[in-house]
């Protein structure tokens, strides 16, 4: 059109020039026109408007259509081979005769060798002097058409690929309105493609959340970020929340701007992939890690603490935090009462739970323990466990309940109970974690119970030994014809004196037993010797002197009395080495025996014996002191006499 306009302008100047009579100007103008005609890269035909005959054709049209000049000139348009089949050409000519201007955007012409050429056909009518001429400009647009068709095909192929991609693709115009979207995008956004088209970013059919779960402001939307920065947005993670149920779809977003001419933003392409499953897996891994950490911490707490309550309180804290319940407790099975009894709890508003005493098989906890199974009660209010109902009445408002048996080494140790004040449905993974915590609790209880049992058995054993030994001592008194309680008294004196020499409490227990049993060897001495009122013969002494050896033989198999043996075996050894049965000397004699020897003689002389009457206190004390360094360890006997123990 421009070109046509230019020609019209040029031709309009021709009569003006002629009128001016400027010959040279005319020549110049015609030459210029001619050159344009000859060199144009469009085909040009000049027709006589009256006759419709072609009177000129330019070289480019000859080149374009393959017909010779002769095949154009003096022919009507539709008589030229190229235009023969073109209905429009006759019509065009008729139109041209009526109108000054006509244009066909897409006219198909045939070349001499039979190819089809798409042309843009523009005609103008104007006067050259008195002559009315038609000029047709014919531009080959085949290449452009082919390129357009190829582009269209390419775009179609492209789009069909995008249509089928498992990636959401949304194209926004620069005002954020959606101009295109693929089915996956519609699926993820939860709307039909039709209803998505035309929506702007601020239209609130959904909202986006950041990775941390907080609501995303409009300026962080991917399309808005790309518009603001003009940059590609890569690997942006966000959640899409649709409707009221608040369900998140996590997506990975990539978006880029497309610019038209002059760096003007043409559109923004946003692509997103649904990564909800990956996100879920990630969360699961994170949760597992937290669970594992909790288990390790609990394990540490258990191993470093023999105090059951402390271990279990640590454990219950983890139970509440990690499994997200409101309260938790541990009931311990007491084999004596056959009941489950409260030991530790966290998260309770009241202390009602501390009175928990569930017989095995009764109530949820009792059932969990007896059947060795997890008891799950979704709604406690609908159930009939009278104890738990009592707790509910006490104002705990629990709804959900789990009772998990605590089993270690095949034994039910107790029950872990968790309580929730809202009815939440938990998944398999949660239950597995609860089971792991229960296993930890069972181990904690088992560890501590073992320790307790050991201590208890020690105490029980000690008690049993004490009773046995005192019984023996009484029997010995009876056989030896002594006053009841005399052995007890000398054992007490021995302990009091031994304490002066810094023996520990554990050693004093053994010293006491040793003192009580010091003459147990006399059980092996015949009555005829033991109860004799006169002095002993030499032969009788030989027997009598065996009583420390008999003591060793009687007591040494009893592990428990190993340390108590010193006194029964060595109480007749003397400091100067003249004692019996071994003739030990000085510090070869155990300290306990050296101490006891003093008490033994003190006691023998202060009492009435079959073979002598009792001595007065001062005589005994003088006698004992006189034996320092021969019979007794001088340090020991003096220390004993200087104390206030041997005074009456």
Position 425 contacts ligand SIN (CB under 6 A):
yes
Please select the residue that binds ligand SIN; options are 385, 482, 507, 573, rule is CB under 6 A.
482
69 binds, among ligand SIN, ligand C2E, Fe ion, none (CB under 5 to 8 A by kind): none
Give the residue with the Cβ less far from ligand C2E, 62 or 604.
Answer: 604
* Residues 529-551 as b or e (16 or more Cβ within 10 Å = b): bbeeeeeeeeebeebbbbbbbbb
Phi/psi region, residue 68 (left: phi>0; alpha: psi -120 to 50; beta: rest), is beta
Residue 35 interacting with ligand C2E (CB under 6 A) = no
Residue selected from 609, 621, 625, 639 as contacting ligand C2E according to rule CB under 6 A: 609
Q: What is the DSSP letter of 350?
A: S
Closest distance to ligand SIN from the beta carbon of 605 (Å): 11
Cβ closest to ligand C2E, residue 125 vs residue 584 = 584
Report the candidate in 361, 381, 382, 383 with the shortest Cα–Cα distance to residue 373.
Answer: 361
Q: Could you give the string, one character per residue 319-338, with x where binding to ligand SIN holds by CB under 6 A and - elsewhere? A: ------x-------------
Binding region for ligand C2E (CB under 6 A) out of 24-32, 98-106, 315-323, 529-537: 529-537
Rounded (10°) CA dihedral 206, 211, 213, 218: -40
**Closer to ligand C2E by Cβ: residue 15 or 583:** 583
Which residue lies nearer to ligand SIN by CB, 507 or 600? 600
Q: Which of 149, 340, 188 is nearest to 272 (CA)?
A: 188
Candidates 154, 234, 610, 619: give the one binding ligand C2E (CB under 6 A): 610
Beta 339-346 vs 168-172: how paired, if at all?
unpaired
Q: Which stretch binds ligand SIN (CB under 6 A): 71-79, 420-428, 612-620, 640-648?
A: 420-428
Residue 180, binding choice from Fe ion, ligand C2E, ligand SIN, none, Cβ under 5 to 8 Å by partner class = none
What number of residues does the chain have? 648
Minimum separation from the CB atom of position 610 to ligand C2E (A) = 5
For Fe ion, the binding residue among 329, 385, 519, 566 (CB under 5 A) is: 519
Shortest reach from residue 615's CB to Fe ion, in Å: 15
Using CB under 6 A as the binding rule, whether residue 378 contacts ligand SIN is answered as yes
Interface with ligand SIN, residue 480, by CB under 6 A = yes
Interface segment toward ligand SIN; rule CB under 6 A; list 258-266, 366-374, 476-484, 638-646: 476-484
Query: Residues binding ligand SIN: what is the number (CB under 6 A)?
Result: 14
- DSSP assignment letter at 614: P
Contact criterion met (CB below 8 Å) for 571 and 596 = yes
Instruction: Report the SS3 class of residue 80.
Output: coil
Q: Footprint of ligand C2E on residues 544-563 (CB under 6 A)? A: 544
From the list ligand C2E, ligand SIN, Fe ion, none, partner contacted by residue 81 (C-beta under 5 to 8 A by kind): none
Alpha helices per DSSP H over 576-643: 591-606, 617-626, 634-642
Q: Which listed option, Fe ion, ligand SIN, ligand C2E, none, makes contact with residue 402 (CB within 5 to 8 Å by class)?
A: ligand SIN
Q: Residue 186's closest CA among 210, 202, 165?
A: 165
Rounded-to-integer distance, Cα 121 and Cα 137, Å: 6
568 binds ligand SIN (CB under 6 A): no
Structure-token match 């002191």, residue found: 625
Q: How far is the CB of 315 from ligand C2E (least distance, A)?
A: 60
Task: Candidates 400, 403, 414, 548: give the one binding ligand SIN (CB under 6 A).
Answer: 400
Q: Which of 417, 519, 566, 633 binds ligand SIN (CB under 6 A)?
A: 519
Residue with tokens 């307790």: 452
Task: Copy the structure tokens of residue 484.
Answer: 């009841």
Q: What does the alpha-carbon distance between residue 398 and residue 648 come to, in Å, rounded to a whole number?
A: 71
Which residues are registered as beta bridge partners of 171? 180, 269
Subset of residues 580 to 639 that bind Fe ion, contact rule: CB under 5 A: 600
Q: Is the bond preceding residue 243 a cis peptide, omega within 30 degrees?
A: no
Q: How many CB atoms lie within 10 A of CB 390?
A: 14
For residues 251 and 237, the answer to whether their CB atoms sit within 8 Å is yes
- Per-residue buried b or exposed e for 615-637, using 16+ beta carbons within 10 Å of the residue's own CB: beeeebbeebeebbeebbbeebb
Least Cβ distance, residue 620 to ligand C2E (angstroms)? 10
Q: Give, to the nearest 10 degrees, the angle between helix 634-642 and helix 591-606.
A: 50
- Nearer to Fe ion by C-beta: 57 or 491? 491
Helix, strand, or coil (residue 420): strand
Q: Which residues would be at the binding site for ligand SIN (CB under 6 A)?
A: 325, 378, 400, 402, 420, 423-426, 476, 480, 482, 487, 519
Q: Which residues would be at the binding site for Fe ion (CB under 5 A)?
A: 519, 600
Q: Which residues would be at the binding site for ligand C2E (CB under 6 A)?
A: 532, 535-536, 544, 572, 600-601, 604-605, 609-612
């Amino acid at each position: 059109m421009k070109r046509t306009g230019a020609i019209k302008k040029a031709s309009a100047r021709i009569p003006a020039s002629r009128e001016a009579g400027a010959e040279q100007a005319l020549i110049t103008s015609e030459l210029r026109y001619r050159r344009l005609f000859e060199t144009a890269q469009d085909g040009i035909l000049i027709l006589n408007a009256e006759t419709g005959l072609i009177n000129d054709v330019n070289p480019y049209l000859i080149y374009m259509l393959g017909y010779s000049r002769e095949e154009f000139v003096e022919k009507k348009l539709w008589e030229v081979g190229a235009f023969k089949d073109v209905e429009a050409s006759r019509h065009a000519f008729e139109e041209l005769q009526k109108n000054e201007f006509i244009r066909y955007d897409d006219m198909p012409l045939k070349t001499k060798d039979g190819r089809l050429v798409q042309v843009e056909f523009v005609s103008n009518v104007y006067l050259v002097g008195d002559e009315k001429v038609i000029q047709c400009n014919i531009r080959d647009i085949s290449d452009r058409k082919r390129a357009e068709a190829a582009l269209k095909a390419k775009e179609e192929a492209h789009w069909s690929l995008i249509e089928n991609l498992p990636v959401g693709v949304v194209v926004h115009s620069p005002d954020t309105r959606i101009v295109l979207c693929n089915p996956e995008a519609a699926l993820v956004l939860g709307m039909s493609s039709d209803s998505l088209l035309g929506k702007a970013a601020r239209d609130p059919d959904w909202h986006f959340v950041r990775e941390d779960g907080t609501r995303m402001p409009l300026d962080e939307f991917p399309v808005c970020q790309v518009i603001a920065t003009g940059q590609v947005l890569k690997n942006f993670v966000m959640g899409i929340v649709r409707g009221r149920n608040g369900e998140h779809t996590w997506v990975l977003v990539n978006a880029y701007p497309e610019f038209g001419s002059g760096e003007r933003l043409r559109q923004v392409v946003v692509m997103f992939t649904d990564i909800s499953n990956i996100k879920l897996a990630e969360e699961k891994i994170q949760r597992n890690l937290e669970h594992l950490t909790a288990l390790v911490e609990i394990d540490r707490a258990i191993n470093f603490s023999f105090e059951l309550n402390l271990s279990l309180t640590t454990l219950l804290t983890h139970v509440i935090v990690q499994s997200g319940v409101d309260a938790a407790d541990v009931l311990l099975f007491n084999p004596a009462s056959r009941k489950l009894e409260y030991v530790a709890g966290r998260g309770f508003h009241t202390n009602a739970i501390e009175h928990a005493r569930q017989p095995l098989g009764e109530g949820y906890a009792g059932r969990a323990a007896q059947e060795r199974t997890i008891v799950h009660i979704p709604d406690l209010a609908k159930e009939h466990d009278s104890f738990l109902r009592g707790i509910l009445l006490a104002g705990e408002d629990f709804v959900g309940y789990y009772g998990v048996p605590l089993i270690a080494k095949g034994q039910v140790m107790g029950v872990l109970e968790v309580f929730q004040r809202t009815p939440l449905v938990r998944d398999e993974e949660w239950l597995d974690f609860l089971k792991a915590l229960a296993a930890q609790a069972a181990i904690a209880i088992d560890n501590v119970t073992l320790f307790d049992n050991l201590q208890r058995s020690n105490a029980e054993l000690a008690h049993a030994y004490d009773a046995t030994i005192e019984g023996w001592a009484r029997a010995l008194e009876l056989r030896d014809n002594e006053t009841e309680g005399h052995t007890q008294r000398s054992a007490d004196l021995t302990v009091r004196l031994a304490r002066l020499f810094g023996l520990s409490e554990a050693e004093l227990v053994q010293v006491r037993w040793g003192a009580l049993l010091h003459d147990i060897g006399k059980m092996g001495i015949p009555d005829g010797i033991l109860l004799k009122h006169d002095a002993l013969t030499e032969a009788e002494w030989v027997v009598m002197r065996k009583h420390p050896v008999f003591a060793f033989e009687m007591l040494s198999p009893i592990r428990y009395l190993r340390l108590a043996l010193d006194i029964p075996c060595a109480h007749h050894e003397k400091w100067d080495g003249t004692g019996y049965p071994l003739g030990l000397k000085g510090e070869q004699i155990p300290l306990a025996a050296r101490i006891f020897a003093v008490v033994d003689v003190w006691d023998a002389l202060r009492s009435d014996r079959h073979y002598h009457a009792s001595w007065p206190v001062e005589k005994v004390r003088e006698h004992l002191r006189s034996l320092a360094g021969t019979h007794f360890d001088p340090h020991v006997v003096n220390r004993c006499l200087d104390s206030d123990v041997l005074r009456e």
